[in-house]
Chains A and B, each alone.
Chain A
């Protein structure tokens, strides 16, 4: 009998709602009533949350300089820029890396793993060997090299991070495929005249996809942390584009006098990563 699936509030709904909120903010950032993320108010540097800041309205027409004032709900950073708007705009970088890089790994690693697990033999030897090579390669060196030769921006970062996640997905998908290939319904599919490609696509893939996507959530969390670490090291998007890791790095210098500059983006990053991990764990338990 099918087991009853439960979706607990704490380990399913709260993380889900938080993630949806982050995604919603990232998408609608352009229409939100927030100050631009790169406008500086020199009179309010490292301001505490709730301070009223003033800034130049870039949309104003005419010769008159038009100043606007807003409440800065999360304070300002060392350059007097509004942290809330920087966090919201910065979520785009985190989400782009967090979503696209695992997707690259999922598609490439997932299919390679299926091929290795289904055909076995020579294909499996080559693919697992290739994965071992990627795993043995020092990832930071690869990222530094790519950053040095191709420049540090989102579109060099995402593919290189994606390649680094391929072995993890490959292993998960190979293990699941090995198990499925020995099940009788795969033999039955062969007996009714399916080709190997059809069996991979119609019998194996639908059953591998669920564990792979659930695992993808956990890799997503990892990628967001890695992006944070890389911005901290200056290997991610260059300033002034805001990113969560970059904001934490900027706050480090004023940690003693204005800890909120560092703690606010760190908390947001922490909550997002925690939500992804908790949600991934819950779904994995439900599907296995």
Chain B
């Protein structure tokens, strides 16, 4: 088997024109993700927000090649995952790890958590038992779990937050370059959410990870991300550094999304002062609408929007938007 060396420069993850669709029978296809491209660098977190069903999780699974995308390429450290055969992929996959939404379901219910964390070591062929135990213990300590107390417990005896810590520890055991968090804190209490987010920020720096943080919760994404991508019906409609996106959103959908967040102080000025009435016209996801995917729900829609799909283009340094008439506050 070919060995893959990790290059410490450049983007850890690069996604190029990825396309995912599912056959749902009767010759109907769902276009879950179409033509999505982005890069994530080391020690950087890309937040991915969007309503449920917009293709966030399908994108994450496509990056892991579970299942592989219909077209497009995924590069990890410059290596094209979509070109690898099954054997090479199996070895390479451990460089991307994932933390899932459901804490209880992420761990084998019949296995003590200490052993779950040790699983990656078994696959790496670490035979020495004392080395295994010491590495598991130090990793448990690194994610904030007392090894003495939790090592021999079953997942059902742990709280949701503790299970997520175990999942993170297991993921880090493979020494990954990239961590995908798919709604990892959505199932947790708010106070526990904050703890896990702090932990994720910490390990990003400690382990030099590139992170893709998927969530529908804008406040959570704001807290962990360096850059944020907004997804709507399988495409990225806006991608910008976190401060920029939250203070000066330009895509009408981003504006709608940010306006939908409840403000802590009632009466306080909204993030954007235009109103984009949400006409709530949900078109089916099997039929790909022509033109901009958001045009049926957009109040700023013009004729061009229904005819031609806008491409994601850079309007400012690092600020990408896919809209013919991007909104600007000034």
Contact = CB atoms under 8 A, between A and B. Distances in A.
Interface in A1-41: 1-2
A146 interface: no
Interface residues of B, number: 30
A184 B174 contact: no
A270 interface: no
Interface stretch (B26-34, B91-99, B257-265): B91-99
B274 to A, nearest CB: 40
A193 B93 contact: yes
Interface in A110-155: none
B282 interface: no
Nearest to B89: A193
Chain A residues touching B, range: 10 to 19
Given A185-B106, A207-B110, A191 B93 contact: yes
A193 B110 contact: no
B108 interface: yes
A207 B109 CA distance: 8
B156 interface: yes
A281 interface: no
What's the dominant secondary structure at chain A's contact region?
helix
Given A183-B105, A206-B110, A188 B100 contact: yes
Given A195-B90, A206-B110, A2 B97 contact: no
Interface in A175-206: 183-185, 187-195, 203, 206
A176 B103 CA distance: 20
Given A2-B156, A2-B157, A185-B106, A190 B93 contact: yes
Given A2-B156, A187-B66, A187-B100, A193 B94 contact: yes
A189 B110 CA distance: 14
B64 interface: yes
Interface string B52-75: 000000000000101000000000
Nearest to B121: A192
Nearest to B61: A187
Nearest to A192: B120
B95 to A, nearest CB: 10
A203 B102 contact: no
B202 to A, nearest CB: 21
B68 to A, nearest CB: 13
Contact of A185 (B94, B97, B107): B107
Given A1-B157, A184-B100, A206-B110, A191 B105 contact: no
Contacts of A190: 66, 93
A191 B156 contact: no
Contacts of A184: 100-102, 105-106
Nearest to A2: B156
A2 B154 contact: yes
B24 interface: no
B106 A188 contact: yes
Interface of A: 1-2, 183-185, 187-195, 203, 206-207
13 contacts: A1-B156, A184-B105, A184-B106, A185-B107, A187-B98, A191-B94, A191-B96, A192-B119, A192-B173, A193-B91, A194-B123, A206-B110, A207-B110
Given A188-B98, A191-B94, 6 more contacts: A1-B156, A2-B154, A185-B107, A187-B66, A189-B119, A206-B108
